[in-house]
Amino acid sequence: MLQSQRQQREKELQGRLQQEEELQERLRREKEHQGRLQREKELQGRLQEEKELKVRQPQQMAHLERLQLELQVRLQSEMVLQVRLQQEKMELQVRLQQEKMELQVRLPQGQTQPLQMERRQRSLQLVALRTSRLQPMELPVRRQQVKEL
């Protein structure tokens, strides 16, 4: 009787052990399956990102082209302003020279009015100095101008 109980217990333990092994095998397979699912999700995410990039890339290129055109327009405007300022500066310098010569011609020799001449000269020099210090202002670029290009 003891032996049959013992055999019975061994069978039960054997059955439990087998069930335990089957459960562990199922768990291992489930973990593998979860890992595969996770990798598949990651791959799908990457594919989706690549699709979105392919869609966004032309839009980004168009935006970059618009920015480049806007920059070119601004640079051209800046160059035009610099040329204008240079012309104004040169005109003022010529005017200053002309004024100096006129003042010298008007005064008879020996008679000078240094104070008036000096004031006039300083005034013209200040105007010339101010214009040479002017920085070209950045002109606002309208979208129409960019589109026209």
Q: 140 pLDDT exceeds 80?
A: no
Q: What is the mean pLDDT of residues 19-39?
A: 95
pTM of the full predicted structure?
Answer: 0.38
Q: What is the mean pLDDT of residues 51-63?
A: 86
Judge contact between 135 and 78, C-beta under 8 A: no
Tokens of residue 48, six digits: 């989706």
Judge contact between 76 and 139, C-beta under 8 A: no
Tokens of residue 100, six digits: 């100096």
Spatial CA neighbour of 75 closest among 1, 7, 149:
149
